[in-house]
Structure 1
């Protein structure tokens, strides 16, 4: 058995937990690991020893996170050949593009790069050192709050800063006139209702999964749950065309598609997460200043559906 080892993804499948939980166990020293290139591996003997310890313990393996995230690719990011700092930012909202342009103007020599991935994948990439700043909007059903339960669990022992980017409404995309009279999450139980989903790891998918869990509803019973689109506009378009009865996304995306109405369900907080390292100090300070700059806020105000009342506010700092 000593010659057999597993990847973090394989460990997650064997233990029926997410990769986030596996990384958490490794970081706390509960699961000894070693690195092969950029990949973490765990010996079968160490996994078996961990399982035996857990069986003897009155506490169960943490299961806060379901397996939601797709595998994060190996880091494709290299340092800038000029020696200037390359700052990799993950997120899919247009506000991140606006922020990146402001960073180019205000941080001397900085080279912001965009990585389009979902919130949970972004946090895992930050944990693995594959990016520098993450935009995240992850709903936690146990606390009814956004982001901090996930961030605090992933970055145990690592100093980090969480600052608000914006707040926006998220809810149902429905056909014009809302013919099925969908008003709340419990309406997902309506017989025959069809949905169009997002890919694993993005905030709206996590939101749906948490709401289904709170409803005690199995995802496979929701028609169309396995139908995935890569952005909220495509989700809204599917609803507008009649290919699905409902989709989940933000209000801004709904305004961009004819034939769709939007049902507000939750106020979603979008935060930025940065690890506090000596080499990051100057550009992190500059990012906070940009978020509080009126020029940047004026650009965001021009986009419908954004609430900037918390923009630039420190949500958590360790």
Structure 2
């Protein structure tokens, strides 16, 4: 089986399509991709599977909706967009944020919504530096077992912020189908016979892992694969499915979209939006809150599955 790793340009040449089309296929979740350093890579095996699926006419709507995490937004790579009354920049990696951005543009035609696919930690820093309008966060504090509030206070010091719930998600381990290594929970991080696939610094998953290591008094040096990083839930699950590691941490929804993967549920996390409180007096942000609280927006998220919407739109805290 050929496991050659290709760049998006090479994939475009192979399939006789444009590079932008390759990015769109990846964003729709139809073609797994992963990062090597800062470069996007696609395995030849996954390209072959994509071609086979196209021949069979296989086109799962849930797969198409799955993921826009791998491909970075234009504001991350190509040009600097200013966060102002005409441009709303949303930081975060969950596909719900893409749906929110689309709803913002549909409701407010004069506003352009941009997505910046970065982790929670860096998203809050961008919010502090006025490079983002809204930041998503799922940062677990191992000392308090609370999500986001202390991080917002520390990363936006002295700046009043409002934390609004978007959804709850289940975090757990991706393992190979059938769980051949009998991985059960956090204590398995101590096992010397397992190889781990990690996430990049600054993302909520990495913060959760490092917090659990502190809680369990485990050194990162004890974990085989701790320095093996991928840049999204999808990339971690795909790496496990391809046998590049035994387990890795991510959200349950992605596990349901990848073949040859099982999921070990570990923890429910709160996924919030963070907005500077002064902006909530702006009619644009008031309308954004109306969108989040609307039945239409929530119904669309229900259709995706895998999200707990019991507190969607609820103000969790004001810092």
Scaled by the length of structure 1, the TM-score of the pair is 0.73
In the superposition, relative to structure 1, how do residues 84 and 208 fare at CA in structure 2: closer, same or farther (>3 Å)? closer
Equivalent residue number for residue 123 of structure 2: 122
- Indicate if the aligned counterparts of 1:84 and 1:109 stay in contact, CA closer than 8 A: no
Equivalent residue number for residue 106 of structure 1: 107
Residue 86 (structure 1) shift:
0.6
- Indicate if the aligned counterparts of 1:159 and 1:276 stay in contact, CA closer than 8 A: yes
Q: Deviations over 1:141-200 (max 9, x none)?
A: 001111111012222321211101111101000111112221211111112211001111
Secondary structure in 2 matching 1:129:
coil
**Is 1:297 the counterpart of 2:316 in the alignment?**
no
Equivalent residue number for residue 147 of structure 1: 148
- Indicate if the aligned counterparts of 2:192 and 2:224 stay in contact, CA closer than 8 A: no
Scaled by the length of structure 2, the TM-score of the pair is 0.73
Supply the RMSD in Å over aligned alpha carbons: 2.0
Residue 280 (structure 1) shift:
6.0
- Number of aligned residue pairs: 244
Unaligned runs of 5+ in 2: 1-75
Equivalent residue number for residue 233 of structure 2: 232
Residue 299 (structure 1) shift:
1.0
**Matches of 2:152 and 2:221 in 1, distance apart?**
28
Equivalent residue number for residue 66 of structure 2: none
**Matches of 2:189 and 2:124 in 1, distance apart?**
29
Q: Give matches, 1:158-197, under 5 Å.
A: 158-197=159-198
Q: Give matches, 1:48-59, under 5 Å.
A: none
Secondary structure in 2 matching 1:103:
helix
In the superposition, relative to structure 1, how do residues 277 and 306 fare at CA in structure 2: closer, same or farther (>3 Å)? same
Deviates more, 1:162-171 or 1:105-114: 105-114
Over 4 Å off, 4+ runs: 73-76
Equivalent residue number for residue 81 of structure 2: 78
**Matches of 1:153 and 1:75 in 2, distance apart?**
30
Equivalent residue number for residue 223 of structure 2: 222
**Matches of 2:133 and 2:234 in 1, distance apart?**
27
**Matches of 1:282 and 1:178 in 2, distance apart?**
51
**Is 1:245 the counterpart of 2:246 in the alignment?**
yes
Equivalent residue number for residue 92 of structure 1: 93
**Matches of 1:215 and 1:168 in 2, distance apart?**
23
Secondary structure in 2 matching 1:135:
strand
In the superposition, relative to structure 1, how do residues 159 and 74 fare at CA in structure 2: closer, same or farther (>3 Å)? farther
Equivalent residue number for residue 263 of structure 1: 264
